[in-house]
Amino acid sequence: MIQDIETPSEEFFNIHGRLLYAPGPTMVPPRVLQAMSKQIINPDLDPDFPNWLLETSRLVGKIIKTKNEVLILPGEGMLALDAALNSVIKPNDEVLVLASGIFGHGFADMVKNCRGKPIVVATDGYDEVLSVEKVKEALDNHPNITAITLVHCETPSGTLNPLKEICKVCQKSDAITIVDAVSSNGGTDILTDEFGIDINLGASQKVFSAPPGIAFMSLSERAIEVINERESIPTFYSDLSVWTKSWIKNRSLPFTHSISDLYAFRESVEIILEEGLENGFRRHKRISKAIIAAGQAMGLELYPKKNDYVSPTVTAFKVPTGIDFEKLMLLMWKKYGVLIAGAWGPVLGGRVLRLGNMGFGANPQFALIALAALEKSLKDFGFQIKLGAANEAFWENY
């Protein structure tokens, strides 16, 4: 019987590695790791580098369906958020902050930090998605806003906001739309130009499944104008005008780029395009559907209120009553070699568990390993469970 099989020792996992099944950083495909181990070139001096980087940014543009400039920055996703807000928002600017979870509300703090004035449109709970009607109302009531922030995939709650519909409403405003699609870019169809997104933010370690260290963003002409017109900001590293003036204008870099991270990121971009965008989106959808069913089959309740709210890149379930999530996570990690995530903060901390079915992780093999480890761990904690039920439900719904 499956429960009699001796699990590997922690030493085994230390040597051979574990499965990352948290919503980013994800496992990195072997091809990407190999690309990363190439000898570096000098990005400041190599005469071929600017073209290669430009080509890379255009390939990213294909994935997020934009003809706009795509900046690729040496830093974590947070750098893209920080740089976009600091470079666009002037002191006392009114900014419409659309918030359906931790990250959405986080934007309000960042806007305040930029000395802007956040006007927050929020959902009642983190298990919901934004109401297009409420956004419309807020836009009518606040005609002077200069920017709108929206988180597409609320990674901590596993929800996906109705981007297309919200953007349609926002297009009537002159405000710069700043969309955090860090956990959805590449995993679901985002038509940046058609939706009218001025700034679409992404990062390497989510659906792209490259190591963390690269952030990117598309910039509409209007966004570039706004960035260039405003007075300089105190920080250099987060000042996008440094990039518009040196990279966009002259194709020269303001400082040394992270070349090994770029090798990895470029390989990830190639992999996404080789698979075909539609194939990738479909793969995420299928995995998501199968994982929801598998989780429910083992007795877990989905965190988002409706299946329609679930992001195809991350699945959040409620932690069953009586289970200490930290202990569950550690058991899965130490005994079964699988890493899943919880969340944090007063609403979600200890209350949800999350599977990161994004990018390289959106495949049946990895999903089933993670589900089996979760099922067995829950049973180890005395949770009523029929081993194998998840597996069966997975395949029935895949």
Residues that bind a second copy in the complex, under the rule CB under 8 A:
17-18, 20, 22, 24-25, 27-28, 33-34, 36-47, 74-79, 81-83, 86, 110, 113-115, 205, 211-213, 232-238, 254-261, 264, 329-330, 333, 339, 341
Q: For the CB of residue 226, give the shortest distance to a second copy in the complex, in Å.
A: 16
Give 163 or 329: the residue with its C-beta nearer to a second copy: 329
Give 53 or 135: the residue with its C-beta nearer to a second copy: 53
Task: Give the whole-angstrom CA distance, residue 184 versus residue 150.
Answer: 13
Q: For the CB of residue 211, give the shortest distance to a second copy in the complex, in Å.
A: 4
Q: For the CB of residue 87, give the shortest distance to a second copy in the complex, in Å.
A: 10
Task: Give the whole-angstrom CA distance, residue 35 versus residue 152.
Answer: 30
What are the distances in angstroms from CA 313 to CA 89, 93, 178, 354, 362?
30, 33, 20, 10, 8
Q: For the CB of residue 239, give the shortest distance to a second copy in the complex, in Å.
A: 9
Residue 94: burial class (beta carbons within 10 Å; 0-12, 13-18, 19+) = middle
Give 81 or 302: the residue with its C-beta nearer to a second copy: 81
In 3D, which of 126, 65, 135 has the Cα closest to residue 97? 135
What are the distances in angstroms from CA 191 to CA 61, 182, 239, 297, 309?
10, 15, 26, 35, 19
> Residues of 252-264 as b/e, b for ≥16 C-beta within 10 angstroms?
ebeeebbbbbbbb
Give 27 or 160: the residue with its C-beta nearer to a second copy: 27
Q: For the CB of residue 89, give the shortest distance to a second copy in the complex, in Å.
A: 9
